[in-house]
């Protein structure tokens, strides 16, 4: 069945590529956060273990929302690890277990990088592809990543 939502097929396909890139980045960030949840150790183990669990729970919801946005546009959502590795702009660090502060810093940097990417994606969706719905959706997602980055940076603030 054809998708008739006021966006030409070419625009929907381009927006789908954007969304699948975001979906891949969300997966990399989810896996990294989950890895840190499992492997954190040190004096803040308990608080960070719980905090990382909260964050990867929010990422799991975002992953589902991004995939559903792609499907609502009539675009296939990427769904394999091979696709995610090919599409992701964020990078993993296999076999690396950073310190507590290293974990927090890495995740904060990834949330900030994803925020910057989302800003560019929002602009492209609005200006070039004329998809204000996806731009609005991505704006909400960007705000979530800004908040998550702030919370991560707050763990690193040593002004006490």
Write out residues in the chain with pLDDT < 70, as ranges.
1, 159-160
41: in domain? yes
Confidence at residue 11, expressed as pLDDT on a 0 to 100 scale: 87
Proportion of the chain in helix, strand, coil states, percent, rounded to 5? 75, 0, 25
**Are the CB atoms for 10 and 124 separated by under 8 Å?**
no
Q: What is the count of structural domains for the chain?
A: 1
143 within a domain of the structure (yes/no): yes
Is the residue at 3 inside a domain? Answer: no
CB 28 within 8 A of CB 117: no
CATH code of residue 70: 1.20.1260.10
Predicted local distance difference test score (pLDDT) of residue 9: 72
Contact 99, 42 (CB under 8 A): yes
Q: What is the pLDDT of residue 102?
A: 97
Nearest to 113 by CA among 12, 30, 29: 29
Residues 6+ apart with CB under 8 A from 105: 98, 152, 156
Task: Confirm whether 1 is domain-assigned.
Answer: no
Containing structural domain, residue 18 = 9-155
Tell me, yes or no, whether 2 lies in a domain: no
In a domain, 18, yes or no: yes
Cβ-based neighbours of 52, under 8 Å, separated by 6 or more:
33, 34, 36, 37, 40, 103
- Please report the pLDDT score of residue 160 as a whole number: 47
* Residue among 157, 151, 160, 1 at smallest CA distance from 74: 1
Nearest-CA neighbor of 148 among 24, 15, 26, 23? 26
């Amino acid at each position: 069945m054809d998708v008739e939502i006021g966006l030409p097929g070419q625009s929907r396909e381009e927006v789908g590529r954007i969304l699948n890139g975001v979906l891949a980045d969300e997966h990399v960030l989810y896996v990294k956060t989950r890895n840190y949840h499992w492997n954190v150790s040190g004096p803040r183990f308990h608080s960070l273990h719980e905090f990382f669990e909260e964050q990867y729970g929010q990422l799991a919801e975002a992953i589902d929302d991004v995939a559903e946005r792609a499907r609502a546009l009539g675009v296939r959502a990427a769904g394999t690890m091979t696709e995610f590795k090919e599409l992701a702009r964020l990078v993993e660090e296999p076999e690396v277990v950073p310190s507590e502060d290293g974990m927090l810093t890495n995740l904060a940097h990834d949330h900030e990088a994803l925020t910057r990417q989302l800003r560019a994606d929002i602009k492209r969706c609005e200006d070039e592809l004329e998809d204000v719905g996806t731009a609005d959706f991505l704006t909400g997602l960007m705000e979530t990543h800004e908040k998550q980055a702030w919370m991560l940076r707050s763990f690193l603030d040593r002004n006490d």
